[in-house]
Amino acid sequence: MAALTVEAYGADLAGFLGFLSRHLGAEATLADCAGLRPADLRAYLAAEAGRGIGAASRARRVSALKSFFTFLRRRHGVDNAAPRTLAAPRRKSPAPRALAPEQALDVAREAGSLEDKPALAARDVALFTLLYGCGLRIAEALALNLRDLPPLPQGGALRVLGKGAKERMVPVLPAVAAALAAWVALHPARDPAAPVFLGARGKRLDAAVAQKVMRDYRRLAGLPEHATPHALRHSFATHLLAGGGDLRAIQELLGHASLSTTQRYTAVETEALMAVWRRAHPRA
């Protein structure tokens, strides 16, 4: 395992054994570990929650405990089923942070203004227009080759290879097709296998370069710190949902394996509705 993982699990187990010493009134022995009940383990997790330890960290502690007791069973013959009954605390996924529609459009139109070279400016406009207009992950966009694009500037459907090598088709809006066509017209390569987005040295564009372009632009334009390339994907989904888009269709467009992942965007829309209610209702 990675060194940091080993260190984290070691710290979790040291904390657990320290709790047992206090809980039992003496340093825990193998016999004590064999006799622990589910209530003892739940008391440990409750104590961690009382210290303000978050759900994600407590879930890691549960994982550490289960691994530890598996080790005790295999190496020392201590067979205690209590840890296997523990359920990890449910982690609350943070609501995706989208940009306002005018902010997302501003990024798509103006992100290329930082470049002096027309070709690189067209590339940046095409990239950020694609991220917002099609909801792609930055890695998905940078993995595209010229042969993956629909006929330009007419548009059509874009073939995207997502997580787990799962392929999906995403419709390309006229504005996205126009931005891609402007960049492809200046593209130095004509090989269909060439990357769509190239760096200044002619290699496939690195995600760090795109993130830096976005970071520089958001500071210049006074956009919030969460204005990142991935925020454009969040904005795509949030704005579709706000416009009456079907949740299942948005799931397909985003390439989510589970609808529960897409449902996070409903929380964003609910928050927006509550904000309007608070501003408008006389008793809010």
* Token pair of 109 as six digits: 């139109």
Q: Confirm if 59 and 89 have CB atoms less than 8 A apart.
A: yes
Residue 225 pLDDT greater than 90, yes or no: yes
Residue 256 catalytic?
yes
* Separation between Cα atoms, residue 117 and residue 250, nearest integer Å: 36
Q: What is the pLDDT of residue 129?
A: 97
Residue 34 pLDDT greater than 80, yes or no: yes
Q: Confirm if 123 and 184 have CB atoms less than 8 A apart.
A: no
pTM: 0.66
13 pLDDT band, cuts 50/70/90, is very high
DSSP calls for 19-54:
HHHHHHSS---HHHHHH--HHHHHHHHHHHHHTT--
- Structural domains in the chain, CATH included, are 3-85 (no CATH), 101-278 (1.10.443.10)
* Token pair of 239 as six digits: 């704005």
Q: 284 or 141, which is more confident?
A: 141
pLDDT digits 0-9 by tens, 167-222: 999 999 999 999 999 999 999 998 999 999 999 888 999 999 999 999 999 999 99
List 61, 230, 234, 239, catalytic entry: 230
pLDDT digits 0-9 by tens, 41-54: 999 999 999 999 98
Three-state SS annotation for 173-214: CHHHHHHHHHHHCCCCCCCCCCECCECCCCCECCHHHHHHHH
List 9, 44, 132, 265, catalytic entry: 265
Percent of the chain predicted with pLDDT > 90: 71
279 pLDDT band, cuts 50/70/90, is confident
Q: Is 53 exposed, middle or buried (0-12, 13-18, 19+ CB in 10 A)?
A: middle
259 pLDDT band, cuts 50/70/90, is confident
Q: 4 or 1, which is more confident?
A: 4
**Residue 234, amino acid:** H
Average pLDDT, the chain: 91
In terms of residues, how long is the chain? 284
* Token pair of 86 as six digits: 């523990």
List 60, 61, 233, 239, catalytic entry: 233
Q: 161 or 1, which is more confident?
A: 161
Q: What is the pLDDT of residue 93?
A: 67
271 pLDDT band, cuts 50/70/90, is confident
101 pLDDT band, cuts 50/70/90, is very high
**Residue 197, amino acid:** F
Query: Tokens 């997302």, residue?
Result: 104
List 91, 163, 166, 219, catalytic entry: 163
Percent of the chain predicted with pLDDT > 70: 99
Q: Confirm if 176 and 133 have CB atoms less than 8 A apart.
A: yes
204 DSSP β-pair partners: 198
Residue 273 pLDDT greater than 80, yes or no: no
Residue 265 catalytic?
yes
List 137, 187, 234, 239, catalytic entry: 137
Averaged pLDDT, 136-163: 92
Q: What is the pLDDT of residue 96?
A: 84
**Residue 123, amino acid:** R
